[in-house]
Every structure is written in structure tokens, then in C-alpha cells.
Amino acid sequence: MSETIKTVCKTSDRIAEILKREKTFVSGESIAAELGMSRASIWKGIRELEKNGMTIEAVTKKGYMLAGEKYARADYVLKYLKNPLIRIKTLRSVNSTNAFLKSIAENENEGLLVIADSQTGGKGRLGRTFLSPDGTGLYMSLLLKPKLSANDALAITSCAAVAVCDVARKIAPDKSIGIKWVNDIYANGKKICGILTEAAFNMENGGLDYAVLGIGINLFEPEHGFGELSDIAGALFPYSANTADVKCRIAAEITDRFMELYSDISSKSFFKSYKNNLFILGKKIKVLRENKSKIAEAVDIDDNFMLLVRYENGEEELLSSGEISIRI
Ligand code: BTN
């Protein structure tokens, strides 16, 4: 790193500290005096902070004020995280946090958490894409290396869904939170979160090599809304340019809650909670398979989180999440 860049980085961090401390307008002159630097260096530092996702208001004769910060930072996540085994990597933008983590999974230990502020190719279930706009959502993937059979590995997604519900309910108590089988979290009738677990199996012993648990949450409404998805997609909070702290807190809390439940995953201790969170039981749903849709009633789930449905002709079927989706 060149000397000049080093100085700019350091300056911007120190300016950020002053702006956070003062919480109001601070003149360029007083920042320069406190840091013993020229006004030009302060101006460069401010530009650097803006590039790093800080919104800084600049008003003539008043100076600068920190109005918000939007990008996740590992040190902010660590401030809230309790589990000592988690390591964090933050990325401004990536194709997909799941794809990124899979590409390095072989050489990493369990507990690596990758958080991105936006994804250019966010992946959803059944080959769909997951809209991942810059700054307003939380896109994270956690590397797991449990000793589980392929069947028990299915519980990872349900375990994560319970963790997300617990945290969402705590942080947004005014919202009605629930799970739409199998892995979509809804708030006040709109989808706010999707979960995609991708696993690699060992061909020789049939066991799990690793699993990548991917969670995408719409924390804040995007600045210009969800566009054509606005009928189905929602967010926990209204638009804000100040998303970094909440994002990091939620990432830490979900990870901690998930790790708590996951430490005993084979007992499926969270089964009851998963079932209580499911808001489709007893309701009429549409079962979608290979472009065909059939009306059914969602009756129950079995021990493996499969959904029991009853069609209009009285026939019953146990659905696994692999190739089916449902509509309410
Ligand atoms: C779904 O709704 O079908 C699942 C969406 C899962 C999205 C998350 S965002 C973080 C991780 N990276 C991805 O590419 N997908 C998951």
C-alpha cells in the first residue's frame, strides 16, 4: 500500500470517529485542527468515507454531519456476536454469497460467515434468482461441516427459519412474522426472507462434506420500492440510508440463535417452534409442480419437515421441498 493511500485511510477513520462522537455538524476547520491536518486532507477523507457507504451531509458554514452508514463491517458484527467460533468476511458486492463460500469451502473450517451488501446473481430455490439490491438487505452465508446424514441435513434450513423468526420478532415486534413452508419468512403477509442451503456430499460414505446456509433478508425497503415484486415482497423496516448497524446486529443475532439451535440439530428441538411458526396449516394452498397447479389443504408436517397436503378429491400426499413450491 502506498504511503499516500495509507494516510487517507487513517484520516478517514479518524474523521468518522469525530463525526460519530459529535452527532451534529462539525466544521472542516475544527476537524483539521483536531487532527493536525490540512482542510484538503479532511476533504479527501470525507470523499473516502462516502465511497465506503457513509452518507455525510455537508452544509456551508456548518461543516459535516454523519447522516448514515450503509455497508456491513466485520467489527460491527463482532460487537454483537456472542459465538466465539464465527469468523466474518464482508464483501461490498458479490455474485452470490453461497457461490463464493462454496468456492472456498473445502479449505475453510466450519463457522465462516460471509456477508455481502449486494449480490449480482443472488440464488433462490428451484433455480430462481433472489433480488439483492445494494445496501438495504442482508445477504449472508454460513459454512457448516456437521456430521449429519443427507436426510438430517434437510433440518438445517428449518432450523435457520426458526432462528430468523425469533430475531425478526424481537427486532420488529409490531410485525406479524411467520414461515411459509418450507423456507420463506413473511412479515405482515409479504415475503421478507428466503433461505437456500446448498450441500456437498461425500460420494463414498454418503455423508455431508459441508453445507452452505444462505439467508437473504429484506431489512429495509429499497429506495425506489420493490418494483414489479411489490405485491409479494416486503421489508422489516422503511427505507433508510443508515443500515449498517442494524444489518450487523441482525446478522450477529441470527447467527448466534442459529448456532444455539444447530448445536443440537439432530434432536430437532426446534421442531415445535417451526410448526408453530408455519402459518399455512389448515389453509387452502396451491401446490405447484412442473408448471401445474393443484388446490389442496395444508394439513400437517412430519418429523422431517415434509408437508402433508389433502387434495380436493380426498387424496393425501407428503411433499418434500425439492421440486415443489406452494402459493397461498
Ligand atoms: C429463496 O427465496 O428461494 C431462497 C433465497 C436465498 C437467498 C440467499 S441471499 C444469501 C445467499 N446467497 C445466495 O445466492 N442465495 C442465498
Residues 184 and 298 in one domain: no
pLDDT tops 90 at residue 151: no
pLDDT band at 142 (very low <50, low <70, confident <90, very high): very high
Rg (CA), the chain: 23
Which among 280, 303, 314, 309 has a CA at the least distance from the CA of 152?
Answer: 303
Average pLDDT rounded to a whole number, residues 300-326: 89
Here the CATH number for the domain that contains residue 222 is 3.30.930.10
Tell me 267's DSSP state.
G
The atom of ligand 1 lying closest to the CA of 137 is 9
**What residues does ligand 1 touch, defined as CB less than 6 Å away?**
96-98, 119, 122-125, 128, 130, 139-141, 184, 194-196, 214-216
Per the structure, the count of domains in the chain is 3
Q: Which of 93, 113, 129, 139 best tests ligand 1's pocket when mutated (most atoms within 8 Å of CB)?
A: 139
Residues 14 and 134 grouped into a single domain:
no
In angstroms, how far is CA 7 from the centroid of its own chain?
34
Q: Whose CA is nearest to atom 15 of ligand 1?
A: 123
59 plus 92 within the same structural domain:
no
Q: What is the pLDDT of residue 322?
A: 67
Domain that includes residue 32, residue range? 3-68
> Which parts of 60-130 are beta strand (E)?
63-69, 87-94, 112-119
Do 153 and 246 lie in a common domain?
yes
Residue 153 has pLDDT above 90, yes or no: no
Same domain assignment for residues 232 and 111: yes
- The pLDDT score that the predictor gives to residue 10 is 79
**Cα–Cα distance measured from residue 56 to residue 51, given in angstroms and rounded to the nearest whole number:** 11
Q: Is 100 found in the same domain as 56? A: no
- Residue whose CA lies nearest to ligand 1 atom number 16: 214
Do 11 and 129 lie in one domain? The reply is no
Which residue in 195, 202, 183 sits closest to 307, CA to CA?
183
One domain, residues 174 and 250: yes
Q: What is the pLDDT of residue 206?
A: 75
DSSP state of 38: -
- Segment 63-85 shows an average pLDDT of 95
Closest CA to 145 of 109, 114, 113: 109
Compute, in angstroms, the gap from residue 96 CA to the centroid of ligand 1.
Answer: 8
Tell whether 261 and 319 lie within a shared domain: no
Separation of 196 CA from ligand 1 center, angstroms? 5
pLDDT tops 90 at residue 202: no
pLDDT tens digit string along 247-284?
999 999 999 999 999 999 989 999 999 999 999 999 99
50 and 127 fall within a common domain: no
Q: What average pLDDT does the segment 157-186 reach?
A: 96
The answer on 200 and 259 residing in a single domain is yes
Q: What share of the chain is helix, strand, coil (3-state, %, to 5)?
A: 35, 30, 35
